[in-house]
Chains A and B, each alone.
Chain A
Amino acid sequence: MKTKLVILASIAGLLAISCPTFAHHGAAAYDMSKPVVLKDAVITQFAWINPHPLIKADYKDDKGNVQHWIMEMGSTPASQLIGWSRTSLKPGDVVTLYVWQAKTGLPVGRFNKVVFADGKVMRDTQTGADNGGRADTGVGR
């Protein structure tokens, strides 16, 4: 009886955590084990588009080579609920980007979070927690 209680309570807990999920697609294409960190990346474009806004940035690696990165984030309505707008990032902004890179190894991925020069942090709705989980705690859902 006690074992059954633990199992059912675990199921209930999982349901409670996962129930707010609502999005365009999942994250199977990305390596969610550890985010890639792009320190001092320069924003080249913030495309506030559907189905997902795109953050485009140039990142200079240790050898001085410039990598052109593109990452997607949660939908515009979901992102607005946690403070994002079409002007949250501007071309020329120097920031540190955390991104779950695609398993293809190309410089594309799912956005995790951005750290601005003044230390301010903004996160993705669905994969913005440091462990890749939701960061919006179900706001609005």
Chain B
Amino acid sequence: MRNAFIGAILGLAAMLCFSSVASAQTAQSQPKQANEARSPWKYYPMDRAVGDGGPAPKRDLTGTWAGPGSGAAVPRGINAQDPTAPPLTPLGKQLYDQNKPIGKYSPAGTNDPHNRYCDPFGFPQNMTNEIRGITITTLPNRTFILIQYMDVWREIWTDGRALPATVGGSGKDALDPRYNGYSVGHWEDDYTFVVDTTGLDDTTWTTKNGYPHSIDAHVQERFKRVDKNDLTLTITMDDPKLYTQQFFLGEEHFRWIPNQQLDDFTCIPSQVQEYLKEMGDPAGFDPNARSQRR
């Protein structure tokens, strides 16, 4: 009874959240845009797929999708923006304590290599942080995920090969860690595409809040095509060197973009240097600030 009551209240909050978004869109944007000429080259965040679009096509994720940061009012997922981590191992805690995320330390105090230098997020952070739009496309033996933010592309082999057993060794044929790791994918059923990845560059952070990962972390993504217009992604990570339990990195929702366009949006080193020099660093940071959701 008590849980049902709490659930009802939180459900109400979610409804308020999304209804306020919807009303704002209706009031401020749709009428204005309805009378404007449309360019086939421009992304219009207020142009949105209506309803579910019908049944999901089988074994097909191909297309361009709006994520939670796209401006298209895609419902925020579960845990994805600021995931709660499981308990860390001693090594994991040691690494975590070295990281100073921007949410707590501000641009001036963070040592996040992306926010200071535009270094790549790396996977899996690039599937949760600044996740605006994505395009998914396929070849007979591979699936590609093209990520709008930072113009990143990920390669997922679907030819039945196994993941590399060892990455980061010292032999002649040793594989180097990669920002996006090594990925294989398969269809679990007609609507669920499962991607397994390992061999991650361990200088990158798992999340924007500074949680680390090792080279040997094993990340699993489950893409579920719910219907024509809806795609859901859940991400988990097993990294026993750094975490005592599986890390649930979150669930995210994506919506079909009617004109299939995305805009340019990336981190540009010269602009970040200008921003930090003139604005971010002079503004300083408050060492007593609590970590903030962003």
Whether chain B is bound by chain A comes out as yes
> Given A16-B17, A25-B294, A29-B108, are A8 and B279 neighbors across the interface (CB < 8 Å)?
no
Among B25, B46, B103, B271, the residue within 8 A (CB) of A25 is B103
B12 adjacent to A29 (CB under 8 Å) = no
In contact, A16 and B283 (Cβ under 8 angstroms): no
Please determine whether B294 and A23 come into contact, CB atoms closer than 8 angstroms: yes
Task: Give the residues from 42 to 71 in chain B that come closer than 8 angstroms, CB to CB, to chain A.
Answer: 45-46, 68-71
Q: Of all chain A residues, which has the CB nearest B263? A: A77
CA distance A70 to B275 in the complex (A): 10
Contact A140 B46 (CB under 8 A): yes
Cα A72 to Cα B271 with chains together (Å): 13
The interface residues of chain A lying within 8 Å CB-to-CB of B69 are 22
B294 touches A103 (CB 8 A): no
- Give the residue of B106, B265, B278 whose beta carbon is less than 8 angstroms from that of A28: B106
**Range, interface on chain A:** 35 or more
Given A26-B106, A104-B283: A137 and B24 within 8 A (CB)?
yes
Q: Bits for A1-32, please: 1 = Cβ < 8 Å to B, else 0.
A: 00000001101110110111111111011100
The stretch of B151-159, B161-169, B189-197, B284-292 that contacts the partner chain: B284-292
Interface majority SS (helix, strand, loop, mixed), chain B: helix
B225-262: which have CB < 8 Å to A?
A: none
Contact A28 B286 (CB under 8 A): yes
Q: A11-B9, A26-B294, A50-B267 are in contact. Are A82 and B279 (CB under 8 A)?
A: no
| Option from A15, A19, A49 in Cβ contact (under 8 Å) with B274 | A49
Minimal beta-carbon separation of B75 from chain A (angstroms): 10
- Rounded to whole angstroms, the CA-CA distance of A72 and B106 in the bound complex is 13
Q: For window 108-162 of chain B, which residues contact chain A by CB distance below 8 Å?
A: 108, 115, 132
Binding site for B on A (CB under 8 A): 8-9, 11-13, 15-16, 18-26, 28-30, 47, 49-52, 54, 56, 70-72, 76-78, 81-82, 102-104, 106, 108-109, 136-141
